[in-house]
Amino acid sequence: MSELHHLTGLQIAFLRVLWQRGEASVAEIGEALRPERALAQTTVATVLSRLEKRGVVAHRREARQFVYRAAVTEGDVRQSMVRELTEGLFQGDVAELVSHLLSVREIGSDDLARVKQMVEAHEKGTEVSRDKR
């Protein structure tokens, strides 16, 4: 994937609603985000319009309202943003990125074991589930 999806925290919050629900209207997105952010419907509509211009979301018309859906996957966004972070802050040095992640927060033994398992699987050319257990 060559396209970069540099998104703000608010934009990612919108996408998370769409990834979870599949589709949602402006009002539904606003309601879903209300516990963490009280946004006017005009703000929600503006953000969605801007995301649509960038090809990140798409809409269909249902009666008198637009119903939005994500046009990119969560995996695509993660890959793009991590690649941008790695290139921009770590000059493409993946080992330095991992070193930084390990040094800036406490890593539990379960998480460390999962990381080791992922590295071993990567070396063997197999894939390990990334879901937390």
Task: Give per-residue burial for 121-132: e unless 16+ CB within 10 Å, then b.
Answer: eeeeeeeeeeee
Closest CA to 56 of 105, 11, 17: 11
Query: Do 11 and 71 belong together in one domain?
Result: yes
At 57-85, the pLDDT tens digits run: 999 999 999 999 999 999 999 999 999 89
Q: What angle do CA 10, 70, 44 make, to 5 degrees?
A: 40
Q: Which amino acid is at 21?
A: R
- CA–CA distance, 41 with 35 (Å, rounded to integer): 15
pLDDT at res. 105: 82
H or E segment to which residue 24 belongs: strand 24-25
Q: What does pTM read for this prediction? A: 0.78
- The token duo for 43 is 């703000």
Give the domain range for residue 120.
93-133
Is it the case that residue 130 has pLDDT exceeding 80? Answer: no
Do 118 and 74 reside in the same domain of the chain? no
Q: Which helix (H) or strand (E) is 107 found in, with range?
A: none
Q: How confident is the model at residue 48 (pLDDT cuts 50, 70, 90)?
A: very high
Claim to verify: residue 103 and residue 88 sit in the same structural domain:
no
Ramachandran angles phi, psi of 100, nearest 5°: -60, -45
Q: What total number of domains does the chain contain?
A: 2
**What's the pLDDT tens digit per position in 77-128?**
999 999 989 999 999 999 999 889 888 888 888 988 998 898 899 899 887 6
pLDDT band for 4, please (50, 70, 90 cuts). Answer: low
Are residues 131 and 70 part of one domain? no
Q: What is the CA radius of gyration of the chain?
A: 18
Residues 68 and 123 both lie in one domain? no
Q: What distance in Å separates the CA atoms of residue 49 and residue 39, rounded to the nearest whole number?
A: 15
* CATH number of the domain encompassing residue 7: 1.10.10.10
